[in-house]
Amino acid sequence: MKLDATDLRYISSDAFRVLAAVEQGSKNHEIVPSPLIAQLAGARSGGVNKALGELAKKKLVAKVQNAKYEGYRLTYGGYDFLACRTFAKRDTIYSVGNQIGTGKESDIYVVADDDGAQMVMKIHRLGRMSFRAIKSKRDYLRKGQSASWMYMSRLAAIKEYAFMKVLHEHGFPVPQPIDQSRHCLIMELIDAFPLRQIASVPSPGALYSSLMDMIVRLARSGLIHGDFNEFNLLIRDHRTDAEKDRDDETTEDREARIEREGGDFPVKVELEGEEFEERRKREREGTLLEPVLIDFPQMVSTDHADAEYYFNRDVECVRTFFSRRFKYESSVYPKFNTTIRDGVREFDLDVEVAASGFKREDRKALDDYMAELAAHDAANGEIASDEEYSDESERERDDDEEDDEAVTAQAEDDLPDVSRVRISEPTEQAA
């Protein structure tokens, strides 16, 4: 499912007004009746039909004929368009660039402002996988009669933005949140690789400790990430090139160097004295390898009934990964009870998020939906969180997705390709 920005420039102002009307109508109708669109757009029906034709051709809306009436529904492409245009209007973004990630329920793009400064746009796409299967049974998916994929994806973006903001304000290492509209948010681009892609680190113990410290610090502020894995941790590498070379030097490299340079210095070049102390200090401070945490839609409060389970799962994720990848095992790891008991809660992030405008009932709707989705995936043998993704399973999932009957029409009507393009105002057309 891709975002197509190529057409963003070419929509007429009439078409834009009609698209906005379809969105507005979607709040109460999954399929918005044509007469209502005309009414909301405040336009002659001849003009509306022409505009709807243009929008349908660009796949921003889709014509639907149901048993009772004919109407249109907004596609993901249309919803993307509206969010991008809002960002462009607010001067948050000017262009959409390459897609850098596809999660199970999101797409990640690099975007830029008009100075060319790069940022990340995360588009939430809840319901991409298995919506139809669970949709009909659940009331919370249909607030009023609105399109549930729009509602849930928007809630996920609002939640993620709210959490990122509060975490960032309290000095947690997370991307700076920049803007949010509908199912999309804009954040700082972190120039780093996910931990998943890092083959070796100079001292796994130091990184391990800083990750466990982060889990503890979050919990003492009332929060649990809930998906604290190697995909959701980006590792900023502050080492100089010379340091990296030395850290990464293999036995063969070393032998070649000895051959080249001669001499009989020890095979392994260890740091000594002051240099060693300085390095340890940077490791401890996290100024050598600095982890940045992302991906917050599933965060839970430490007051949650299953808080201990989520906390332990986050801790276990780090332990398992370090043991597998770096052969690093430690008997020291945080325990939920002592973390909470000994912690002086200086502030309650959870309460602050609630105060930031992410409403309680919205939170419940989203949590219920996510739990339902996870249960559904588990029952179908799908991966419940992205902790186990590999390139292999990524491909398999893509194939599955194509065959999967449960994939909704929204997933299919999305647009072909994304290209580097500027976003600008709709072109004014002669009335």
**Residue 78 structure tokens:** 């249309």
Which partner, ligand ADP, Mg ion, none, binds residue 153 by CB below 5 to 8 Å per kind?
A: none
Q: How far, in Å, CA of 104 to CA of 389, rounded?
A: 10
Please, how many CA atoms are within 13 Å of residue 188, restricted to the half-sphere of its CB? 15
Contacting range for Mg ion; rule: CB under 5 A; set: 116-124, 201-209, 294-302, 368-376? 294-302
Residues near ligand ADP (CB under 6 A), total? 20
103 binds ligand ADP (CB under 6 A): yes
Q: Which of 64, 108, 354, 406 binds ligand ADP (CB under 6 A)?
A: 108
The residue among 295 and 352 lying less far from Mg ion, judged by its C-beta, is 295
Terminal CA-CA length for the chain: 35
229 binds Mg ion (CB under 5 A): no
Which partner, Mg ion, ligand ADP, none, binds residue 187 by CB below 5 to 8 Å per kind?
A: ligand ADP
Q: How far, in Å, CA of 42 to CA of 281, rounded?
A: 66
**Among all residues, whose Cβ is closest to ligand ADP?**
103
Max intra-chain CA distance, the chain:
89
The distance of closest approach from Cβ of residue 294 to ligand ADP in the complex, given in angstroms and rounded to an integer, is: 5
**Among all residues, whose Cβ is closest to Mg ion?**
295
386 binds ligand ADP (CB under 6 A): yes
385 binds Mg ion (CB under 5 A): no
Q: How far, in Å, CA of 73 to CA of 400, rounded?
A: 26
Please, how many CA atoms are within 13 Å of residue 134, restricted to the half-sphere of its CB? 22
Which partner, ligand ADP, Mg ion, none, binds residue 35 by CB below 5 to 8 Å per kind?
A: none
Q: How far, in Å, CA of 140 to CA of 249, rounded?
A: 56
Q: How far, in Å, CA of 175 to CA of 188, rounded?
A: 5
- The answer for residues whose C-beta is within 8 angstroms of residue 369's C-beta and 6 or more apart is 126, 138, 140, 141, 152
- The answer for residues whose C-beta is within 8 angstroms of residue 89's C-beta and 6 or more apart is none
Q: Cα 366–369–374 angle (5° rounding)?
A: 125
| Catalytic (active site) residue 227 | yes
DSSP label at residue 263:
S
The distance of closest approach from Cβ of residue 299 to ligand ADP in the complex, given in angstroms and rounded to an integer, is: 12
- The answer for residues whose C-beta is within 8 angstroms of residue 15's C-beta and 6 or more apart is 51, 54, 55, 426
The distance of closest approach from Cβ of residue 102 to Mg ion in the complex, given in angstroms and rounded to an integer, is: 11
349 binds ligand ADP (CB under 6 A): no
295 binds Mg ion (CB under 5 A): yes
157 binds ligand ADP (CB under 6 A): no
Q: Which of 64, 112, 134, 189 binds ligand ADP (CB under 6 A)?
A: 189
Looking at residues 207 to 246 of the shown chain, list those that interact with ligand ADP (rule: CB under 6 A).
231-232, 234
Q: Read out DSSP for 92-123?
A: S-SEEEEEEEE-SSEEEEEEE-TT--EEEEEE
Q: What are phi and psi of 128, to 5 degrees?
A: -60, -40
Residues near Mg ion (CB under 5 A), total? 3
106 binds ligand ADP (CB under 6 A): yes
398 binds ligand ADP (CB under 6 A): no
Three-state DSSP class for residue 217? helix
E strand or H helix that includes residue 289: strand 289-293
Q: Which of 294, 318, 349, 411 binds ligand ADP (CB under 6 A)?
A: 294
The Cβ of residue 380 has, within 10 Å, a number of other Cβ atoms equal to 13
The distance of closest approach from Cβ of residue 307 to ligand ADP in the complex, given in angstroms and rounded to an integer, is: 21
Catalytic residue among 4, 80, 227, 295: 227
The distance of closest approach from Cβ of residue 153 to ligand ADP in the complex, given in angstroms and rounded to an integer, is: 12
Q: Which of 26, 92, 232, 302 binds Mg ion (CB under 5 A)?
A: 232
Contacting range for ligand ADP; rule: CB under 6 A; set: 54-62, 85-93, 98-106, 299-307? 98-106
Structure-token match 């740091």, residue found = 271
The distance of closest approach from Cβ of residue 104 to ligand ADP in the complex, given in angstroms and rounded to an integer, is: 6
Q: Is the dihedral of CA 405, 410, 415, 421 positive or negative?
A: negative
Contact footprint for Mg ion (CB under 5 A): 231-232, 295
What are the residue numbers of the active site? 227
Contact footprint for ligand ADP (CB under 6 A): 100-101, 103, 105-106, 108, 120, 122, 175, 187-190, 194, 231-232, 234, 294-295, 386
